[in-house]
A and B are shown apart, each in its own frame.
Chain A
Amino acid sequence: MTGFASIFERFRREGQIWLSRLGNLFLSLVNLYRLRTKRRRFLARAILKRRELKIALDQTHLIQCKSILSFSTIRNEIDRLPHFLKHYRLLGVDHFLIVANNCTDGSVEYLKEQPDVSIWVTDRSYKASRFGVDWLTWLQIRFGHKHWTLTVDADELLIYPHYEHRPLAALTQWLDRSGQTSLQAMMLDMYPKGEIGTQQECDLNNPLKTLRWFDSGNYSFQIQQPMKNLWIQGGPRARQFFESDPQRSPTLNKIPLVKWNRRFAYVNSTHSALPRRLNQSYGVNGDERISGVLLHTKFLDSIVKKSQEEKLRKEHFNNSELYNDYYDALIKNPDLWTHTSVEFQDWKQLERLGLISSGGWA
């Protein structure tokens, strides 16, 4: 009798285990289906929003099958554009596809003179276009398919291991061979020494001459389900502006470089993408994958004036009211520098500090 009972007990237990496994499988399938629906919704949005874009300069015939393409949305970035283009041309970007949203400072006119730029203009809402992502998704559907694509803002300068000697073509070829389709590159907020709005000798040809400093080790890392994307927070903005509510501090993880397929879509700016394997370019077994950083040149002295404008425009956050304090703090012309700030030297320094990794690319 006891024998029978124990056999019964065993079957019951195993049955439970299998049932929970089945349940988990079902849940993960539901999740995958949801993500698929989400991705397709983004693609549909992008296709609908294509009518908001008007082409101002079309040089897309210059794109060849192995070209590395850069996609950006800009608004009044005349200060940063020369250095932006210079930086990425040096890295070997072959063509820039730029959406200019409500530009009034001559950015469009400047870009029209460039030999490797195609421009679309729009006066519609940046926020309603998922912060420009819908527009770019449409351009990526049209032009990005099967290309290595870089999606960056005008204030983001990509740096990766060996970037001085090895252009993007070398990196992407190596990523291809390693079977990796995306590159993780967190934002590194660069700031000057002293009040950000009153910097002497601000050299627009190289914003990094003024913005030389960064925080080297105050970041928090989480993996978010169900997209398995990273959530990195921290840096000078977190400690200065979001000290009492770190949860709301800006997201720093980015996936700017992707071997694109027209069925891909960025979800939340370039912080995460679908399908979710694009988010998983980190090692989970103690191993280190390759990664870079986006040097974030937001804190040029124009930020103080811009913040006044952005506070009124309410185009940058989903619930903008919550970020009024942030803009107020920026308008007050703060100093982000502390004696623990680190001065930027090169990518090797960033690797030593543990911010990036060359992940086997010797």
Chain B
Amino acid sequence: MTVGIVMLVHADFDRAAQIARHWVDGGCPVVIHIDKKVSDAKVSSFKATLADIDEIKFSERHKCEWGMWGLVAATQDASELLLQSFPNVRHVYLSSGSCIPLRPVQELVAYLDAHADTDFIESATIEDVTWTVDGLEEERFTLRFPFSWRKQRRLFDRYVSLQRRLRVKRKLPFKMQPHIGSQWWCLTRETLEGVLKDPLRGKYDKFFSRVWIPDESYFQTLSRTHSRKIESRSLTLSKFDFQGKPHIFYDDHLQLLRRSDCFVARKIWSGADKLYETFLRSPEDALTIAEPQPEKIDRLFSKATERRVKGRHGLVMQSRIPNDMWRHGKSCREYAVFEGFDSLFEDFIPWLKRTTELRVHGHLFNQDIVEFADGETMFKGGMSNSKHLRDYDPTGFLRNLIWNARDEHQAFQFGPQDNQSIHWEFATDPNACVAMITGAWLIDGFRKGLPFEELRKTAAKHQKIESTHRDALQSGYANAKSRIWTLAEFLEAPAENLSLVMNDISPGLGRQITEAPKMVDLTGFGAFVQNLKNEGMNPFVLGDFRQDDGREVSEKPARKPYLVR
């Protein structure tokens, strides 16, 4: 007993002939169906190349349009011819011209010998199927589809919506549930004869000829009534991408295909010389009866599909320019923004670098120069510290920075003296973790001892900028994780607050800190603030900062480092 092959061919005749010969060499008779659309000259030359083999027959030609009845009619005729002409065939294997047997034919025969009364046909009820891509599930059966999806798309869509509006619902001519599954099956002689010689076949055929993609449902449904034992899977490895077209195998898939232990794979690119050469060679190794294991290939293709459909979060590149950055990632991973901390603590940046594993930049958006971590002039990815280049595309600059060092957790300093064009960008980024001490920048002015007149002017300006930014962080559009204190609030419990921030950035980070940063000497700051007030400014960003607070801080041993829990 042996296996008969039904082969549906519409192009790449050289390859088809090669495959047909291979099947015959393995002892399997072949019946070939050639699409009616193929020119007569091509058909006759193809037939001539295979004329020397008796085990190859050609069945009556039908027009094969994807999704239409022709494919089923072709399969029916070819199967009938096969069963009639080769009485020693026990299983019939449906394949195409671009299918390639991955394992020696004898192994397939032996495998089917071991499963003599099993039908291998993927067949599932509509409710259980998730792979349909066109949105037509049950309607495949209950509507009529006289138009081609590929060539008459508009008519197809219109007719579907018209039928929906008219609530057309065809009745099934049988009681059982319709099933669908992969077009490529392997049925036993008994089942196939049962389907083909069914007394009600005329009625079935009439019904299915108006079903959408009948080649995925005709045999899948009818074999349920005739089969003794159905194994619902296809022996042909065939994967579909998100558009519903089959993935194609190339030379570089060789190892993957070899290790899959599948019997037949589709679709193979006709130019994949190495695949054809390798798999159509006569077997050298001893035969095995391993079970097919397509999981690895599944993973490869599902990963590719995910990349195609979802892309890499937070990446903008030449073939991924999301128009809705919020949904598709403003940045690829989390990062931290510190505002005011480097003014309040003397050695904040070196301290942060010492005690955590963060990559700590200075003021990246400094008006004069980009302060990369460690005073570097260039950062990963070829990013330059030029302010012009940064300000040409600040959003892109930040996105590139996070992407280029995506193996690291980065942090940078920010303040009202910096270029503000970026501030909404990270305020709305869920990956950003912002810790802000408002008014801390005043300490810089206080310590520099600038002329009071000048200081008064910039202070007013910075205060305005800072409160705008704070409003952004607190607005309904903000998505960043943020903590905001006024300087006075922060000074109430610096240690606790610092540890809160650290835990926000990365849970548990607060506990790792054993050493505290050194706070600047605030002696006289209270008087300085009072002086500003006396000059008519209202430094509200400082919070409720009274004169004696400053004194208090300076009198208590503030310069002594304290421990942060």
Determine whether B329 belongs to the interface, using a CB cutoff of 8 Å to chain A.
yes
Q: Which residues of B contact A (CB under 8 A)?
A: 241-243, 245, 247-248, 250-252, 269, 271, 300-301, 303-305, 307-313, 315-324, 327-329, 378-384, 386, 388-389, 392-393, 396, 400, 403-404
- Complex contact B386–A239 (CB within 8 A): yes
- Beta-carbon contact of A291 and B379 below 8 Å: no
Among all A-B residue pairs, the 5 with the closest Cβ atoms: A217-B381, A360-B308, A215-B382, A286-B328, A362-B304
Q: Are A218 and B383 in contact (CB under 8 A)?
A: yes
Which residues on B sit within 8 Å (CB–CB) of A220? 392-393, 396
A313: Cβ under 8 A from any B Cβ: no
Q: How far is the CB of A304 from chain B (nearest CB, A)?
A: 22
Q: Find out whether the CB atom of A283 lies under 8 angstroms from the CB atom of B304.
A: no
Write out the residue numbers on chain A whose beta carbons fall within 8 Å of the beta carbon of B379: 340
Chain B residues near A201 (CB, 8 Å)? none
| Residue on B nearest A285 in the bound complex, by CB | B322
User: For A284, what are the chain B residues with a Cβ–Cβ distance below 8 Å?
Assistant: 321-323
Distance of B314 from chain A, by nearest CB (Å):
10
Question: Which residue of chain A has the shortest Cβ distance to B389 in the bound complex?
Answer: A246
Smallest CB separation, A161 vs chain B (Å): 10
A340 and B378 form a contact (CB under 8 A)? yes
Main SS of the interface on chain A? loop
In the complex, given contacts A221-B317, A246-B392, A360-B304, what are 5 additional A-B residue pairs having Cβ atoms less than 8 angstroms apart?
Answer: A174-B248, A178-B245, A284-B322, A287-B311, A340-B378
Contact check, A217 vs B307: say whether CB atoms are below 8 A apart. no
Within 8 A of B (CB), among A199-234: 215-223, 230, 232-233
Beta-carbon contact of A359 and B319 below 8 Å: yes
- Nearest chain A residue, comparing its CB with the CB of B251: A165
B297 to chain A, nearest CB (A): 9
Q: Shortest distance in angstroms between B62's beta carbon and chain A's nearest beta carbon?
A: 23
State how many residues of chain A have any CB contact under 8 Å with chain B. Answer: 62
| Complex alpha-carbon distance, A336 and B252, angstroms | 36
Q: Are A340 and B252 in contact (CB-based, < 8 A)?
A: no
Point out the residue from B245, B307, B327 that lies within 8 Å of A358, measured CB to CB: B307
Q: Which residues of B contact A164 (CB under 8 A)?
A: 252
Nearest CB of chain A from residue B331's CB, rounded to whole Å = 13
Select which of B250, B321, B378, B381 is within 8 A of A170 by beta carbon.
B250
Across the two chains, which residue of chain B brings its CB closest to A360? B308
CA distance A185 to B316 in the complex (A): 15
> Given A281-B319, A354-B317, A360-B241 in contact, is the A288-B388 Cβ separation under 8 Å?
no
Residue of A174, A286, A341 with most chain B CB atoms under a 10 A cut-off: A286
Known: A290-B319, A354-B317. A243 touches B388 (CB 8 A): yes
CB distance from A251 to the nearest CB of B (A): 12
**Chain B residues closer than 8 Å to A223, beta-carbon distance:** 321
Give Cα distance in the complex from A179 to B313, angstroms.
Answer: 25
Contact A287 B384 (CB under 8 A): no
Structural contact, A361 and B393, CB atoms closer than 8 A: no
Q: State whether A354 and B403 are in contact (beta carbons under 8 Å apart), knowing that A221-B318, A362-B301 are contacts in the complex.
A: yes
- Closest Cβ neighbor of B377 among chain A residues: A338
Say yes or no: A170-B320 contact (C-beta < 8 A), given A220-B396, A287-B309, A360-B308. Answer: no
Residue A339, interface by CB 8 Å = yes
Cα–Cα distance between A219 and B389 once the two chains are bound (Å):
10
Query: What residues make up the interface of A, taking CB atoms closer than 8 Å to B?
Result: 162, 164-167, 169-170, 173-174, 177-179, 184-186, 215-223, 230, 232-233, 235-236, 238-239, 243-247, 253, 281-291, 338-342, 354-362
Contact (A166, B389) CB under 8 Å given A216-B381, A221-B321, A286-B320? no
**Complex CA–CA separation, A245 to B383 (angstroms):** 16
For the complex, what is the distance from the CA of A231 to the CA of B310, rounded to whole Å? 23
Q: Check A245 against B388 for contact (C-beta < 8 Å).
A: yes
**Of B310, B318, B383, which contacts A253 at CB under 8 A?**
B318
Contacts of A339 on B, CB cut-off 8 Å? 378
Beta-carbon nearest neighbor of B328 in chain A: A286
A103, B386: Cα distance in complex, Å = 40
How close is B430's CB to chain A, nearest CB, in angstroms? 15
Minimum CB–CB distance for B203 against chain A, Å: 37
Docked pose: A170 CA to B247 CA in angstroms: 12
Residue from the list A230, A238, A290, A359 in contact with B321, Cβ < 8 A: A230
Q: Which residues of A contact B313 (CB under 8 A)?
A: 286
Chain B nearest CB from A314 CB (Å) reads 26
Cα distance A186–B403 in the bound complex, in angstroms: 19
The answer to whether B381 touches A215 (Cβ under 8 A) is yes
Contact A291 B400 (CB under 8 A): no
Contact of A217 with B308 at beta-carbon distance under 8 Å, contacts A184-B319, A186-B318, A362-B300 already known: no
Interchain CB contact under 8 A, A285 and B319? no
- What CA separation (Å) do A233 and B318 show in the bound complex? 11
Report 26 cross-chain contacts, Cβ distance below 8 Å, ordered by A residue. Answer: A162-B250, A166-B251, A174-B248, A216-B404, A217-B380, A217-B382, A217-B400, A217-B403, A218-B389, A219-B400, A221-B396, A246-B393, A282-B318, A282-B321, A284-B321, A285-B323, A286-B327, A287-B310, A287-B320, A288-B307, A289-B319, A289-B320, A291-B318, A338-B378, A342-B382, A356-B318
**Which A residues touch B384, using CB under 8 A?**
218, 239, 243
B311, A354: Cβ atoms closer than 8 Å: no
Shortest distance from the beta carbon of A329 to any chain B beta carbon, whole Å: 15
Smallest CB–CB gap between A166 and chain B, Å?
5
Q: Which residue of A lies closest to B307 (CB)?
A: A288
Contacts of B301 in A (CB 8 A): 362
Least CB distance from A344 to B in Å reads 13
